[in-house]
Amino acid sequence: MRRVLALVVAIASTAAGAGEVRAPATFLSPEQRALQDDPSRHPGWLWVDAGETLWRSAPPTGRPSCQGCHGEIATMRGVATRYPAVAPSGELVNLEGRIETCRSEKQQAPAFGYESEHLLSLTAAIALQSRGLPMAVATEGPAARFVSEGRRLYTMRQGQLNLSCAQCHDENVGRRLRGDVISSGVGTGYPAYRLEWNRMGSLHRRLRACSLGVRATQFDYGASEYLALELYLAVRAGGLPIETPGLRR
């Protein structure tokens, strides 16, 4: 299997130099990019619309809605560029985790749950407010150890195929693997609508798919390993614009 995979990569044409980090949209076909940029045709906007409704809706506990505390959802502009981030508790949380904390602690309502329609929708709607803004996560202080762990995971060979994230997303950026172009592997478009899923999905769902692809351990959604890796991917994406809701093949 490793020899087959290596052969597929080796014979593919190169579109970018090794180690070059590019925005995910640059790897889309012209048709896919046009679809990503068109809210009237992009199916991911159905989740955004649902998320905006959730933002305005009070939970059944009678506690305030998101809007009741934060105001219009436009006040979230810039928030997504700073996640994942270290919480006051010392734990690393991504945007989904921050939403779930507000949900359980402030609204005193049951958490939505990873990969649920509600959480995907609300995350997409909030991240959309930062669309076009550059990623700028914190890397110093309490975040430093998580960045280091994410870097370790990114460069570590794993699974039965003995491959690391870096071997695909640094060394073979722009090459074709079967019908796909290998991207720089950053998460600036998530939650994203993937055509193969026929629905919206989180970055952790994509990371789990990558783990499965190299026959490695799949961690749970929200696992510390995926959170550290998500932070390191955000560091690599520093300065690149948020594309949420992205469109992926």
Coil, helix or strand at residue 85: strand
Cβ burial of 7 (10 Å; 0-12, 13-18, 19+) is: exposed
Of 25, 56, 27, the C-alpha closest to 38 is: 25
Cβ contact 217:211 at 8 Å = yes
Distance of CA 7 to the CA centre of its chain: 29
Q: Could you give the residue numbers annotated as active site?
A: 210
How far apart are alpha carbons 127 and 10 in whole angstroms?
36
How far apart are alpha carbons 158 and 235 in whole angstroms?
22
Distance of CA 77 to the CA centre of its chain: 17
Distance of CA 197 to the CA centre of its chain: 15
Of 141, 174, 171, the C-alpha closest to 154 is: 171
